[in-house]
């Protein structure tokens, strides 16, 4: 049998060397699919390696792993830079939204609302006055005022955001802190809050150009908001 196999032409797809299940209907006979067939099948697999089970070698897997590691190293700095800008933009947008919230709530409730900025600890608080006293935050907590919201840059934005302004100018540009939103829909003082990422490469300003204007947020291109 072996001599006949090796002396036969090694033409890929020769029906006489294919396993029974791979032959077209009517090719071969029952006697050719006995024990002799199993030996022929093993020899066919050895003679035609392309028909062996495909897979990855350890070398191929190591090469792919090395390529992925290099690509990750190249992409990581760009990803960190993008995340810093994203966190700063999110913090600026959130402060803008909280200013709008305080302003609208003061009108709706006919009571003052305030935002108190804590630059030393990198946070701010939205204060809801429970009386009509514009200095309600100097009274008793939960009697004269209530903390409606606290935003901490360290916990909320992973220490990627800070109070900061170019040229060492004041980051809190309001003459009074906290800023007051009264029941008429005006803010007591105009001014801006300046935020930057932790590398001081990008700045945003959030605030009011005048006491009757709407809150605004914009990316800083100079040293102050226009």
**DSSP notation for 91-156:** HHHHHHHHHHHHHHHHHHHTS-EEEEEETTTTEEEEEEESSS-TTGGGS-BTTTEEEEEEEEHHHH
Q: Tell me how far CA of residue 188 lies from CA of 51, 160, 172, 183, 205, in angstroms.
A: 82, 30, 15, 11, 18
User: In angstroms, rounded to a whole number, what is the distance separating the alpha carbons of residues 212 and 226?
Assistant: 16
Q: Give mean pLDDT, residues 112-134.
A: 97
The CATH number corresponding to 85-219 among 3.40.710.10, 3.55.40.10, 3.20.20.70, 1.10.3470.10 equals 3.55.40.10
Identify which has the larger pLDDT, 69 or 218.
218
Where are the chain's structural domains?
A: 85-219
Q: Give 175's pLDDT tier (boundaries 50, 70, 90).
A: very high
For 52-79, what is each residue's pLDDT tens digit? 555 678 877 888 887 877 776 665 566 5
pLDDT of residue 79: 59
pLDDT of residue 54: 58
């Amino acid at each position: 049998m072996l001599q006949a196999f090796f002396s036969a032409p090694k033409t890929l797809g020769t029906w006489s060397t294919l396993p029974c299940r791979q032959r077209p209907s009517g090719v071969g006979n029952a006697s050719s699919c006995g024990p002799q067939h199993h030996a022929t099948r093993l020899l066919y697999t050895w003679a035609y390696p392309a028909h062996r089970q495909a897979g990855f070698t350890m070398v191929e897997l190591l090469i792919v792993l090395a390529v992925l590691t290099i690509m990750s190293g190249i992409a990581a700095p760009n990803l960190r830079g993008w995340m810093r800008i994203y966190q700063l933009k999110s913090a600026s947008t959130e402060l803008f939204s909280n200013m709008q919230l305080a302003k609208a709530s003061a009108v709706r409730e006919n009571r003052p609302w305030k935002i108190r900025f804590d630059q030393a600890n990198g946070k701010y608080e939205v204060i809801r006055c429970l009386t009509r006293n514009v200095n309600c935050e100097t009274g008793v907590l939960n009697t004269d005022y209530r903390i409606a919201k606290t935003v901490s840059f360290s916990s909320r934005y992973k220490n990627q955001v800070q109070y900061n302004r170019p040229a060492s100018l004041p980051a809190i540009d309001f003459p009074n802190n906290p800023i007051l939103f009264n029941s008429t829909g005006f803010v007591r003082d105009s001014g801006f809050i300046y935020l930057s990422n932790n590398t001081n490469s990008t700045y945003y300003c959030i605030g009011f150009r005048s006491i009757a204007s709407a809150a605004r947020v914009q990316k800083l291109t100079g040293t102050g908001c226009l």
